Each structure stands twice: as C-alpha cells, then as structure tokens.
C-alpha cells in the first residue's frame, strides 16, 4: 500500500475507533443509557447527549463504509500509480492505447473524490462534537447538583411507591395462555451437566436471592447468592447443608423455603432457609420415585415441584395412573394435597414440564429440537396438543421451571444456567372485575 493510502486508512480507522467509543461507551460512563430526568431542564441536556451519541453512531457507520470503499480501490490505485511512474520515466512509452487505459483507470477513481469530501466534512463534525463533549462535564455537574436535592429517605420512599405501583400493575395482568418463548439468555456456565437453579417464586416478593443445586443424585449442598449479579460472578454466597439429600432436579423455592424430593422416597421436604431447619415433610401418596417414572432424561426426576400464579404444585405419576402425568395442588404450609388431575400424558415421553396460570406445559424432549408439545388446563380439566418451539441451545435440559414473579423460564442446560422470556395471551383486569 502506498504512503497516501496508509495515511487515509490510518485516519479513517482512528475515526472509526473514536466514534465507536463515543457512541457506545460514553453514554454508559455518564449513566444516561435509557435515563430520563425531568427536573429543571435536565431532560433537555440528556437529549443533547443522546443526540451526540446518535451522531457518533451515524458517523461510525459512514466511516466504516468509506474505509471499505477506499480499501477496495487500493489495487486500482496501485495500477494507476505504476502507469504514472512508467510514463514519467519514459514519456514516449505512453502510446494512444496506453493513454486511453490510464484515462479509464483514473475515471474509475473519480467516485473516490466525494468519499474524501465526505471525510473532510466528517472531520469537521469530529471537531464540533469534541467541543460538545467537553461541555459534558458541566452537564454532569448540573445533574449531580439536582440529584443531590433529594435526600436518601425521599429517594427510598419514591422507590417503594414505584414498586407498589408496579406490583399493582402486574396484578391487573390476568393469567394468560402461553403463545411463545424467546431466544435463550445464558446467565452463567457452572456446575455439572445436571442441576437446578432458581429465585423465589412467591408473589409479591422483594427477595433477590438466587439458589443453585448442582447434580440430581444424593446432593445436600445448596448455594445461596445475594443477587443475580452475584450469581453471575460466582461471588457473595453462603452454603446450606440440607439435613436430607435430594433426588432429581424438580426443586422450587416458595416464600423463603425450599421444597424438594427426599432421596429414595416420595417424601416432600420443606426447608426454611433463614432458620436452616425442616419445617414439615410429607409423603406424596402413591407417587413413584427412584427412577420409576422419570422424565425422558432420567435423573431420578420422578417428582417435580413447581409454583405459578395459583400456588404450589407437584407433578409426578403413580402405578394406578399407568405412568401418566399427575398434577396435584399442594397446601404450602402442610404439604397436603388439595386437588389432583390425571393428564393422560405418559411422563417418560416428556422432556420437562412447568406450570403457568394453572396450566401444565410439557415438552416432547430434553434434547435439541424440543418443543412445547402438550398443555393441560386444570381449570377445565382438558388438554390440547401444542406446537411452541424454543431453542435448546446446549442440547440437554435437565430442569425447566416457570417463575411467576419474573415471568421467565429458568433452565439448567448441560451445565449452563439459562433464562427464557415467555409471551402470554392475557386479559387485562379492570377495577370492576
């Protein structure tokens, strides 16, 4: 590449790097990504900062396009440069045919002129935006002064009020029918191939803790993280050593307690995290255990405990039910069975299942290509076959549970902890309902 080309490439590359940094990093540094503050004209300043960011994004895209064009003309410029050198050293060698060829090559380079003109205009924009960025320190100081007008207690009360209004809004969102599942969101890769992880499913709840239980066979160690961010980083956790080992991965946390299936039994245990004690345990009458009626992947997944908007549930099967999935609603304090439904769907043909708004959704496999294939409605004691696809990214799901508080699916997929957002067809409740 010639020296002029190197200079152009270096300048354009620098512009791309600078604009990319300013458009992506600057807003996050000043804390203005998606932020709106309406006091005393601050929102106007934020709009100004966002406009700078948008201008930089446009500039970045244009610079990238121009740089690509310049690079594509590199070989053509080399040819023209070579012919000009030959002509300057030996003018007589430039015959009419050679002159026409050189003229044609130069004509092909003419579109480069507006690119360079645009580059000069962009360079002026860089200078203008640089001046605007310098003024950001003044904007930030003004924002800081305005934010300082609120004391801590007032801010806390505002947050509590907002949280109350949010819960009220969520309550107006009536239960709905599952119509779609988002692409997977991998939160972390940790543990073995099998396991479970969860947050509290009780509505409402301000508990932000995350629990992780690695493995499906005779495990007793439960890791408790303060927040989801701590879980992602693998930090700030405490350990609970359960008095009895668990079986399977069908555990659930509901209102501060862990509900799980005791190893080599059909006993359900309620373990309270804060007191670190067993509050109650009860046998799930007739339920199979120890890989008698597991999901298709095995793993002692005979009894699957879950929660939704309607409360606590157990999904299992019995010999009288011929291995078909049975749903029982449980009373959370005593673990007594309140009502039971026989779905007629063979449990060994199911990959996993979860409850949403009193409806059990069943996948047809735990492997790649799985989809949500069957739905049983407890409110009408009826069922239907469904066709709701989802991306099984790591090809081996050993746990899939719905969290009604967050309205997401938690999954353990081949040593990866993954979330899915769900789409529900909902009916909005009015105050007169």
Tell whether the model's pLDDT for residue 39 goes beyond 60: no
For the chain, give the percent of residues with pLDDT over 70: 65
Q: What is the mean pLDDT of residues 400-426?
A: 93
Which neighbouring-strand residues pair with 409?
Answer: 402, 420
Instruction: Please write the tens of the pLDDT for every residue from 270-295.
Output: 999 999 999 999 999 999 999 999 99
* Helix or strand holding residue 143 (H, E): helix 136-147
Instruction: Say what the pLDDT of residue 38 is.
Output: 42
Tell whether the model's pLDDT for residue 12 goes beyond 70: no
SS3 225: strand
Tell whether the model's pLDDT for residue 52 goes beyond 70: no
* Residue whose C-alpha is closest to residue 259's, from 190, 328, 325: 328
Instruction: Please write the tens of the pLDDT for every residue from 133-183.
Output: 667 666 766 766 666 655 666 766 776 676 666 555 555 556 889 999 999
Instruction: Say what the pLDDT of residue 87 is.
Output: 73
* Residue-by-residue DSSP string for 231-266: HHHT-SEEEEEEEEEEESS--EEETTEEEEEBTTSS
Tell me if 402 sits within 8 A of 306, measured CB to CB. Answer: yes
Q: Per residue, what are the HEC states of 271-293? A: EECCCCEEEEEEECCCECCCCCC
Mean pLDDT value across the chain: 80
Instruction: Say what the pLDDT of residue 22 is.
Output: 42
* Residue whose C-alpha is closest to residue 302's, from 247, 353, 342: 247
Within its chain, how far is the Cα of 281 from the centroid? 35
Buried b (16+ CB within 10 A) or exposed e, 399-417: bbbbbbbbbbbbbbbbbbb
Tell whether the model's pLDDT for residue 217 goes beyond 60: yes
In which band, very low, low, confident or very high, does the pLDDT at 318 lie, cut at 50, 70 and 90?
Answer: very high
d(CA 301, CA 303): 6
Tell me if 30 sits within 8 A of 136, measured CB to CB. Answer: yes
Which of 77-81, 187-191, 210-214, 331-335 is least confident? 77-81
Classify 290 in phi/psi space as left (phi over 0), alpha (psi -120 to 50) or beta: left
Instruction: Say what the pLDDT of residue 64 is.
Output: 60
In which band, very low, low, confident or very high, does the pLDDT at 15 lie, cut at 50, 70 and 90?
Answer: very low
* Helix or strand holding residue 125 (H, E): helix 112-134
Which of 117-126, 244-253, 413-422 is least confident? 117-126
CATH no. for 176-425: 2.120.10
Instruction: Say what the pLDDT of residue 309 is.
Output: 92
* Residue-by-residue DSSP string for 326-393: EEEEE-TTT--EEEEEEEEEEGGG-S-EEEETTEEEEES-SSTT-EEEEEEETTTTEEEEEEEE---T
Instruction: Say what the pLDDT of residue 60 is.
Output: 60
* Helix or strand holding residue 185 (H, E): strand 185-189
Tell whether the model's pLDDT for residue 301 goes beyond 50: yes
- Secondary structure letter of residue 92 according to DSSP: G
Instruction: Say what the pLDDT of residue 82 is.
Output: 75
Segments making up each domain of the chain, as ranges: 3-29+43-147, 176-425
């Amino acid at each position: 590449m010639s020296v002029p080309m190197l200079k152009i490439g270096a300048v354009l590359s620098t512009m791309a790097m600078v604009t990319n940094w300013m458009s992506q990093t600057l807003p996050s540094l000043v804390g203005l990504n998606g932020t709106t503050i309406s006091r005393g004209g601050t929102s106007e300043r934020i709009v100004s900062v966002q406009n700078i960011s948008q201008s930089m994004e446009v500039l970045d895209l244009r610079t990238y396009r121009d740089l690509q064009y310049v690079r594509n003309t590199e070989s053509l410029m080399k040819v023209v440069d070579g012919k000009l050198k030959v002509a300057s050293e030996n003018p007589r060698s430039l015959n009419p045919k050679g002159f026409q060829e050189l003229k044609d090559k130069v004509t092909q380079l003419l579109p480069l002129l507006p690119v360079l003109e645009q580059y000069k205009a962009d360079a002026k924009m860089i200078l203008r935006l640089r001046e605007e960025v310098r003024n950001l320190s003044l904007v930030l100081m003004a924002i800081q002064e305005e934010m300082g007008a609120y004391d801590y207690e007032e801010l806390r009360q505002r947050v509590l009020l907002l949280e109350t209004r949010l819960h009220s809004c969520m309550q107006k969102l009536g239960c709905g029918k599952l119509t779609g599942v988002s692409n997977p969101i991998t939160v972390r890769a940790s543990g073995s191939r099998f396991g479970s992880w969860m947050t509290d499913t009780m509505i409402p709840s301000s508990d932000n803790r995350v629990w992780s239980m690695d493995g499906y066979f005779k495990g007793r160690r439960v890791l408790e993280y303060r927040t989801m961010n701590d879980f992602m980083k693998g930090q700030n956790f405490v350990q609970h050593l359960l008095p009895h080992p668990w079986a399977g991965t069908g555990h659930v946390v509901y209102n501060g307690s862990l509900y799980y299936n005791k190893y080599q039994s059909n006993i359900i245990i309620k373990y309270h995290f804060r007191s670190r004690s067993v509050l109650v345990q009860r046998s799930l009458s007739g339920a199979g255990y120890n890989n008698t009626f597991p999901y298709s992947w095995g793993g002692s997944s005979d009894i699957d405990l879950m929660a939704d908007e309607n409360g606590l549930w157990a999904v299992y099967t019995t010999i009288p039910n011929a291995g078909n999935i049975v749903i029982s609603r449980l009373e959370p304090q005593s673990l007594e069975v309140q009502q039971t439904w026989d779905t007629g769907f063979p449990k060994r043909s199911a990959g996993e299942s979860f409850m949403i708004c009193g409806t059990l959704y069943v996948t047809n496999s735990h492997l790649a290509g799985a989809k949500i294939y069957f739905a049983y409605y407890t409110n009408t004691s009826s069922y239907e076959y469904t066709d709701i696809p989802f991306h099984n990214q790591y090809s081996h799901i050993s746990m899939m549970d719905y969290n009604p508080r967050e309205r997401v699916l938690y999954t353990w997929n081949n040593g990866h902890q993954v979330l899915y957002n769900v789409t529900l067809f909902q009916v909005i409740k009015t105050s007169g309902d």
